Amino acid sequence: MAKNKLNKNWLHDHINDPYVKLAQKEGYRARAAYKLKEIDEEERLIKPGQVIVDLGCTPGSWCQYVRNKLAGAEGGGIHGTIIGLDILPMDPIADVHYIQGDFREDEPVRQLEAVLDGRKADLVLSDMAPNLSGVAIADAARVEYLIDLAIDFAQLHMKPGGSLLVKCFNGTGYNELVHKFRAEFKTVMSKKPKASRDKSSEIFLLGKILKNPRS
């Protein structure tokens, strides 16, 4: 009974969520687009001509937002390059290079490097999150692992002056993640956009200017 009540409460909150309604109205696949929008508007992360990689991009609302920001090229294209990676399938988005697979494996990396064509990313985004178990220590380890993957990816594929934005959770292990970011980036800040639900411990870490890029 408790689980059914929880599901009904979630469904009620979801249906009445202003960001869900706005996403439906504006054509975004998920309300998560507005989290990136707020952070981008505060920090001016997304600029014409950039190479932007979205890790864990499915269902694609972040790619949609980035695409809208880079739109305006002659012929209806975009000023820049957008690459989305995920192990899950994603419906196509105009002007987005989507690569399905695990970016730790050779074939997705080969496809990525073919699109990059010798370039490095200006911005790496990661909305990746593990399936949380409710066991604080185990969940913290899962979150840290995904953030380690995002940092490793940035060190390999991002420009030294680039930025990395990742999702994490404010709880067990959060301070360690902040220390880890400070070891890798010259500027680090945390962001809690309004579109993040109040009940959620979700928070975003933004790192600017890599200290130790790897070629």
Q: Is the pLDDT score of 8 beyond 50? A: yes
pLDDT in tens, 145-161: 999 999 999 999 999 99
Q: Is the pLDDT score of 126 beyond 70? A: yes
The response to whether 60 counts as a known ligand-binding position is yes
Tell me the pLDDT of the chain averaged across its residues: 91
For range 103-127, the mean pLDDT: 97
pLDDT of residue 76: 81
Q: Are 51 and 80 in contact (CB under 8 A)?
A: yes
pLDDT of residue 12: 53
Per annotation, catalytic residue among 159, 167, 180, 208: 167
Best-predicted range by mean pLDDT (14-18, 87-91, 172-176):
87-91
Taking the C-alpha atoms of residue 142 and residue 138, their distance in angstroms, rounded to an integer, is: 6
| pLDDT band (50, 70, 90) for residue 5 | low
| 11 within a domain of the structure (yes/no) | no
Q: Which of 46-50, 55-59, 94-98, 168-172 is the least confident region?
A: 168-172
The response to whether 40 counts as a known ligand-binding position is no
**Three-class secondary structure assignment of 29-85:** CCCCHHHHHHHHHHHCCCCCCCEEEEECCCCCHHHHHHHHHHECCHHHCECCEEEEE
| 4 within a domain of the structure (yes/no) | no
| pLDDT band (50, 70, 90) for residue 10 | very low
For range 59-78, the mean pLDDT: 92
Containing domain of residue 204, as a range? 32-210
| 10 within a domain of the structure (yes/no) | no
How many domains would you assign to the chain? 1
Q: What is the pTM of this model?
A: 0.91
Q: Are 34 and 22 in contact (CB under 8 A)?
A: yes
| 132 within a domain of the structure (yes/no) | yes
Residue 192 bears catalytic tag:
no
For range 116-141, the mean pLDDT: 93
| 86 within a domain of the structure (yes/no) | yes
The response to whether 102 counts as a known ligand-binding position is yes
CATH number of the domain that residue 46 is part of:
3.40.50.150
| 15 within a domain of the structure (yes/no) | no
| 142 within a domain of the structure (yes/no) | yes
| 63 within a domain of the structure (yes/no) | yes
